[in-house]
Amino acid sequence: MAVITVTVANFEEEVLKSTVPVLIDFWASWCGPCRMVSPVVDEIAKEITNAKVCKVNVDEEGELSIKYGIMSIPTLMVFKNGEVSSKQVGVKSKSQILAMLEE
Active site residue 54: no
- Catalytic member of 31, 48, 89, 99: 31
Name the strand (E) or helix (H) holding 20: none
3-class DSSP state of 74: coil
DSSP 63: H
Neighbour tally for 41: CB within 10 Å? 22
- Catalytic member of 22, 34, 41, 97: 34
Q: Which residues are catalytic?
A: 31, 34
